Chains A and B, each alone.
Chain A
């Protein structure tokens, strides 16, 4: 058996209505004053009432101005607020943008200094303040992952922070908090989770049975529940399955990495602001086709385990997986080409810039097949 390391530093609590116990959990972590980080649509839409009610008898301050493409300035503003208010624990309630922002705020708040000093991998070597993550989307897995990305607008790219200390202390999974997520975002974030499961399963170091079983089960749960969660957002069982699947896929990818699909999606996010899940859903089939000659055996095994193929032939089973992904995306109303996702026509200089971003994305290192600049360029062209 190959060597592996498997970490789950985060305690995971799931229940319908679990959000209302967030404050109790924060108190258990010995927090005295909580910094609650969220975004405007969630706060003003009144979706967080059940969570916030619990904080009535605990000192707290709320920051709700996290933008969708959160950046270093936002992180610094929040950290300053937290210092002034003397907060000693953080609660992130929202999607990946909010959770990633909260993780980077935690670095600033705990360690002080310039945030740019902490970018890198394994570069944070001490315990940070308690961070409780309450996801309101079912996709990113940021509630359990050991990485966070925020934009540096001055340089026009995303900064990467990776350390086991970045994993939240507790992830509270409450499907009721995802009910208000509109169909398009439900579908897009669900495809982010599916991409995590599939890319992790074939990643170059995906050699642990721990990650394998998380990948296959979470992918199956997405195939079985995303259509219902998208079409009938009030279906709590489908929402629950999606939320748990996305956290499982998060545990998997944070241990074994993602791949070329994520590298392409990150570059589209950095250059055009394309939603991470939408970009993944478009690139996923192209990434599978690209890797197919060396990873068909893995894709085929996954296809059989999630129940989308009965074929004993690897290439046929991989093709079945591709068809199943395509059908799922169509059924969930997701755009199938970049041009249909609002990406303007790509000229040579756009492609050049995107290629540089993608080949230097750490995700690409975990892809099972080496990608040249030409390969990446062709993938953009095919996906457009």
Chain B
């Protein structure tokens, strides 16, 4: 069974997670320095989360359809994203086995993997809060 019941749940969790990432000065500084616009495209359920660091000053998080053209797109099942944030996804394996599809200069996004690792500790918290909210 898929972890997220619907797109709203998925968007809600991812939005909260990225907001908290944005409150961590270390992660924020490095994300802004990348000046990337990364869009996560999820399926089962459908979802779009766009992280815009392009001006290097402010990180903007938005969910749902966007007019903004991302520099890098990462597509995967929402369950893969859930497992990723729990620190349970072996990213190289997920790429080799085709579970993660990336479009654009993927090199730039991959450099951010070590940067966002501290968020693995934040995610369970977001999930538990989210579960209480929806309970």
> Chain A: residues with CB nearer than 8 A to chain B?
3, 5, 117, 119-123, 125, 159-160, 162, 164, 203-205, 255-257, 359-362, 365-366, 370
The answer to whether A256 and B113 touch across the interface, beta carbons within 8 angstroms, is no
Complex CA distance for A120 and B71, rounded to whole angstroms: 11
Residue of B72, B90, B96 contacting most chain A CB atoms (<10 Å): B96
The answer to whether B98 and A164 touch across the interface, beta carbons within 8 angstroms, is yes
Residue of B73, B103, B114 contacting most chain A CB atoms (<10 Å): B103
Q: In the complex, what residues of B have CB within 8 A of residue A257's CB?
A: 92, 96
Whole-angstrom distance between the Cβ of B64 and the nearest chain A Cβ? 23
Complex CA distance for A228 and B122, rounded to whole angstroms: 57
The answer to whether the Cβ of B101 comes within 8 Å of any Cβ in the partner chain is yes
Q: In the complex, what residues of B have CB within 8 A of residue A359's CB?
A: 111
Whole-angstrom distance between the Cβ of B72 and the nearest chain A Cβ? 8
User: Which residue in B92, B104, B113, B114 is a CB contact (below 8 Å) of A204?
Assistant: B92
Q: In the complex, what residues of B have CB within 8 A of residue A117's CB?
A: 103
The answer to whether the Cβ of B91 comes within 8 Å of any Cβ in the partner chain is yes
Q: In the complex, what residues of A have CB within 8 A of residue B100's CB?
A: 121-122
> Chain B: residues with CB nearer than 8 A to chain A?
72-73, 90-93, 95-98, 100-108, 110-111, 113-114
User: Which residue in A3, A120, A255 is a CB contact (below 8 Å) of B106?
Assistant: A120
Q: In the complex, what residues of B have CB within 8 A of residue A255's CB?
A: 96
The answer to whether B114 and A121 touch across the interface, beta carbons within 8 angstroms, is no
Q: A121-B106, A365-B113 are in contact. Are A5 and B97 (CB under 8 A)?
A: yes
User: Which residue in B96, B103, B106, B111 is a CB contact (below 8 Å) of A205?
Assistant: B96
Complex CA distance for A365 and B98, rounded to whole angstroms: 16
Whole-angstrom distance between the Cβ of B114 and the nearest chain A Cβ? 7
Q: Can you list 7 A-B contacts (CB < 8 A)? A: A120-B73, A121-B106, A159-B105, A160-B107, A203-B92, A365-B110, A365-B113
Whole-angstrom distance between the Cβ of A347 and the nearest chain B Cβ? 23
The answer to whether B98 and A119 touch across the interface, beta carbons within 8 angstroms, is no
Determine the residue in chain A with the shortest Cβ distance to B99: A122
User: Which residue in B92, B96, B107, B113 is a CB contact (below 8 Å) of A361?
Assistant: B107
Q: A5-B96, A255-B96, A370-B114 are in contact. Are A123 and B107 (CB under 8 A)?
A: no
The answer to whether B97 and A366 touch across the interface, beta carbons within 8 angstroms, is no
User: Which residue in A5, A205, A256, A362 is a CB contact (below 8 Å) of B110?
Assistant: A362
Determine the residue in chain B with the shortest Cβ distance to A367: B92
The answer to whether B105 and A119 touch across the interface, beta carbons within 8 angstroms, is yes
User: Which residue in B90, B93, B101, B107 is a CB contact (below 8 Å) of A362?
Assistant: B107
Complex CA distance for A257 and B92, rounded to whole angstroms: 8
Residue of B91, B100, B102 contacting most chain A CB atoms (<10 Å): B102
The answer to whether B102 and A205 touch across the interface, beta carbons within 8 angstroms, is no
Whole-angstrom distance between the Cβ of B5 and the nearest chain A Cβ? 27
